[in-house]
């Protein structure tokens, strides 16, 4: 049971106001938001913060005060646009009031009420001019009116997955300690730096590097009509597979590449099988949090990198090795000025006589602890036993999206989540199903040793829907307005492990790269827990032994739950 919702005014008074253009990361997500039109709630994402345990009750006024301090600390949470246009100005408010919902939950129902509240808030579009970019709800106990859970739902212009994790961590600390020392970096200052001559020159470097690659990739990865379009055209299905999760970790341990790289290699091979292309090019979401001054910033820094992979390797391990090299190039050059990228695309179009629109992206949004290789490795028998438990279901339908092929990796209770949202005018619903099942089959087959790459078209053709998937009728999808992608991303922030990346300003010769067998690749994963997205606990600067500013007891006392993909 849930009691009637009330309201609480969260009044904030920051140290300054101001205005600036959008940062490069904001420009990138703003372009995607505008291209998605009225379905832009797809980009909303949330975090649920459980109140610290330990006997201390948190009355509503104390929690409201903590939320106010959070909004004062991170300026992006009180920043809005002047108008909706291609190149808007963002305005930082010095003071204002956010209205938080207060919802009473019956005993034992608080966590479920928090999840349902988050689901509802995720479906509502943001007004980028009038709405504050974070929605807040407090779930209270019917017994004593204390707050048990806080729900935060973010506009993607204010944060990416990593930034949301920083905000959730700081809110936990404010609930525990009442205040935080130091001043984090702010997006307004970053926007001003990026517009200096030095910043603009840095923003043109990556497009110059990638220009030759775009002369040899297919103009688009999915250009052949499917002949079986749906209405609405974009459909999304999700495979949840413990077997795929386990198999990818075995391949990762054998090859030294990250599980993200393993899965990108498999996806690239199957895209080649679907399309006939011998080169796969896609845009992986990269968090761009490689410098110390970006780790505490609550703002979208993620941008689409360019991943180009020749599909010429005779075996799967060989393809993973090539993908590892390609991923390193991607992560080192994924921060750029969007206008410079568009200028570069214009030059390529003029030279080739056709526009290059890859329409193909991938985003690893798993928490660091799920994307990494620190867990105990499974046995082949455990993988075989897990395979019948895989499930496949339809999760969304959209009228408009900015990409024809969007692959999301998430951590789910039942295993690795692999969600593919595609334009059925170019990839039919049956092909979406076949792709997900074939990717599982390919990685599972490579789990216990290197295998020759099979005839991928034949693998796709013979991949059938087993009874275990219980896939609902594609014509009977629920109302798409109730099915936004909770993780954002695209939270588009696949955060590679910062410690494993050499200086990205200087790409070494391939021969000079460390041996994969002695230096495992952790760069392909998102690490914001983002973006990968669950935050890499060691990547959030702090004073506690876990690098978060919390000691272990505090971490246990104040969990945070990222929203999974629906």
| pLDDT tens digits along 135-177 | 999 999 988 899 999 999 999 999 998 999 999 999 999 999 9
- Residue in the structure block whose two tokens are 């009442």: 178
Residue 54's pLDDT is 64
104: β partners? 140
Instruction: Map out the domains of the chain as residue ranges.
Output: 6-180+542-562, 226-482
C-alpha 345/C-alpha 339 separation (Å) is 10
Q: Tell whether domain 226-482 is in CATH 3.30.559.30.
A: yes
pLDDT digits (tens, 9 = 90+) for 243-255: 999 999 999 999 9
Residue 200 pLDDT > 50: yes
Q: Band of the pLDDT at 3, cuts 50, 70, 90?
A: low
Residue 463's pLDDT is 64
Work out the percent of the chain whose per-residue pLDDT is above 90: 71
Residue 542 pLDDT > 90: no
Residue 495's pLDDT is 32
Q: What is the average per-residue pLDDT within 61-89?
A: 96
C-alpha 110/C-alpha 267 separation (Å) is 39
C-alpha 394/C-alpha 476 separation (Å) is 10
Residue 372's pLDDT is 65
Rg for the chain, CA atoms, rounded: 23
Work out the percent of the chain whose per-residue pLDDT is above 70: 79
Decide: 366 and 409 in contact? Cβ < 8 Å: yes
- Residue in the structure block whose two tokens are 């910062």: 498
Q: Band of the pLDDT at 489, cuts 50, 70, 90?
A: very low
pTM of the predicted model over 0.85: no
C-alpha 233/C-alpha 170 separation (Å) is 40
Question: What CATH architecture is 6-180+542-562?
Answer: 2-Layer Sandwich (3.30)
Residue 498 pLDDT > 70: no
Helices (H), 75-181: 110-122, 161-177
Residue 100's pLDDT is 97
Decide: 446 and 454 in contact? Cβ < 8 Å: no
Q: Band of the pLDDT at 462, cuts 50, 70, 90?
A: low
Residue 14 pLDDT > 60: yes
Residue 555 pLDDT > 50: no
**HSE-up (13 A, CA, CB side) for residue 149:** 27
Q: What is the average per-residue pLDDT within 362-388?
A: 85
Helix (H, G, I), strand (E, B) or coil at 405: strand
Residue 294's pLDDT is 92
- Residue in the structure block whose two tokens are 């993988």: 383
Least-confidence region, from 2-11, 23-32, 199-208? 2-11
Residue 78 pLDDT > 60: yes
Q: Is 276 left (phi over 0), alpha (psi -120 to 50) or beta?
A: left
Residue 520's pLDDT is 33
Q: What is the average per-residue pLDDT within 44-59?
A: 86
Helix (H, G, I), strand (E, B) or coil at 191: helix
- 427: exposed, middle or buried (Cβ count in 10 Å: 0-12, 13-18, 19+): buried
Mean pLDDT of the chain: 83
Q: Band of the pLDDT at 53, cuts 50, 70, 90?
A: confident
Q: What is the average per-residue pLDDT within 266-288?
A: 95
* CB neighbour list of residue 511: distance below 8 Å, 6 or more residues apart: none
- Give the H/E segment covering residue 356: none
Residue 455's pLDDT is 77
Residue 369's pLDDT is 65
Dump strand ranges (E) for 205-317.
234-241, 279-286, 303-304, 307-310
pLDDT digits (tens, 9 = 90+) for 331-371: 999 999 999 999 999 999 999 999 999 999 999 988 766 67
Q: Band of the pLDDT at 456, cuts 50, 70, 90?
A: confident
Residue 71's pLDDT is 98
C-alpha 277/C-alpha 280 separation (Å) is 7
More confident residue, 484 or 291: 291
């Amino acid at each position: 049971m849930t009691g009637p919702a009330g309201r609480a005014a969260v009044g904030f008074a920051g140290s300054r106001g101001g205005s600036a253009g959008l940062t490069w990361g904001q420009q990138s997500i703003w372009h995607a938001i505008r291209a998605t039109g009225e379905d832009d709630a797809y980009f909303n994402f949330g975090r649920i913060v459980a109140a610290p345990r330990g006997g201390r009750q948190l009355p509503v006024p104390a929690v409201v005060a903590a939320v106010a301090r959070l909004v004062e600390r991170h300026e992006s949470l009180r920043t809005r646009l002047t108008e909706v246009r291609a190149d808007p100005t963002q305005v930082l408010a010095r003071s204002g009031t956010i209205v938080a919902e207060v919802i009473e939950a019956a005993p034992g129902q608080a966590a479920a009420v928090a999840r349902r509240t988050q689901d509802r808030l995720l479906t509502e579009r943001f007004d980028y001019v009038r709405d504050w970019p974070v929605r807040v709800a407090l779930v209270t106990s019917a017994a004593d009116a204390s707050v048990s859970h806080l729900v935060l739902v973010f506009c993607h212009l204010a944060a990416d997955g990593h930034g949301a994790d920083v905000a959730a961590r700081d809110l936990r600390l404010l609930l525990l300690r009442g205040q935080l020392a130091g001043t984090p970096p702010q997006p307004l200052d970053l926007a001003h730096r990026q517009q200096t001559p030095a910043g603009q020159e840095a923003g043109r470097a990556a497009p110059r590097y990638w220009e030759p690659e775009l002369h040899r990739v297919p103009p688009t990865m999915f250009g052949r009509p499917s002949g079986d379009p749906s209405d609405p055209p974009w459909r999304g299905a999700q495979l949840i597979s413990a077997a795929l999760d386990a198999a990818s970790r075995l391949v990762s341990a054998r090859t030294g590449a990250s599980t993200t790289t393993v899965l990108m290699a498999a996806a690239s091979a199957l895209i080649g099988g679907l399309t006939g292309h011998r080169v796969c090019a896609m845009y992986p979401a990269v968090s761009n949090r490689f410098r110390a001054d970006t780790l505490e910033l609550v703002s979208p820094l993620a941008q689409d990198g360019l991943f180009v992979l020749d599909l010429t390797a005779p075996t799967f391990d060989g393809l993973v090795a090539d993908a590892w090299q390609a991923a390193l190039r991607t992560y080192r050059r994924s921060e750029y000025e969007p206008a410079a990228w568009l200028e570069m695309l214009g030059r390529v179009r003029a030279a080739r006589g056709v526009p290059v629109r890859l329409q193909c992206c991938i985003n690893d949004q798993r928490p660091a602890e799920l994307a990494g290789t620190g867990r105990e490795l499974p046995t082949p028998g455990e993988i075989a036993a897990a395979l019948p438990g895989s499930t496949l279901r339809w999760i969304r339908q959209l009228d408009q999206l900015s990409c024809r092929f969007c692959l999301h990796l998430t951590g789910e209770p039942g295993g690795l989540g692999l969600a593919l949202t595609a334009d059925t005018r170019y990839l039919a619903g049956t092909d979406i199903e076949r792709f997900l099942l074939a990717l599982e089959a390919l990685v599972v087959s490579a789990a216990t040793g290197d295998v020759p790459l099979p005839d991928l078209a034949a693998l796709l053709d013979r991949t059938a829907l087993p009874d275990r998937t219980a896939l609902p009728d594609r014509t009977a999808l629920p109302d798409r307005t109730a099915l936004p992608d909770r993780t954002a991303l695209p939270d588009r922030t696949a955060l590679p492990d910062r410690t494993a990346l050499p200086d990205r300003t200087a790409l070494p010769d391939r021969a000079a790269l460390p041996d994969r067998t002695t230096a495992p690749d952790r760069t392909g994963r998102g690490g914001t827990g983002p973006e990968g997205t669950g935050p890499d606990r060691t990547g959030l600067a702090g004073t506690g032994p876990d690098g978060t500013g919390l000691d272990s007891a505090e971490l246990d006392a104040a969990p945070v739950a990222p929203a999974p993909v629906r």
